[in-house]
Amino acid sequence: MAEHRPIERIAADLRRVRRTLAGFEPGVSAVKKFAARQAYDALLVQACAALEVEHRLRSLPEGMDREIERLRVEETLRRLGLSI
């Protein structure tokens, strides 16, 4: 099994980036929003790897399908006890 960062650290980083995404003021550049979403997705992928959750975050382009997958992954991780 591959080495992973501690899941507690990944969860803390997920919460931090999620707060950043939620706290963007109107007028924040699309580039900053995109970068934050990419960082959040990368953390979700790490959490999925650590908890052996399948996902399609890497294969879906930005848009509605990826947003739905993001929500599905978040809910799956919550059901496994991860606080995000």
Alpha helical stretches, state H, 1-84: 7-22, 30-51, 64-79
pLDDT of 35-69, one tens digit each?
999 999 999 999 999 999 999 999 999 999 999 99
Does position 1 have pLDDT exceeding 90, yes or no?
Answer: no
55 contact partners, CB below 8 Å, separation of at least 6: 44, 45, 48, 69, 73
- The pLDDT value given to residue 4: 76
- The pLDDT value given to residue 2: 56
pTM equals: 0.91
Confirm if 13 and 84 have CB atoms less than 8 A apart. Answer: no
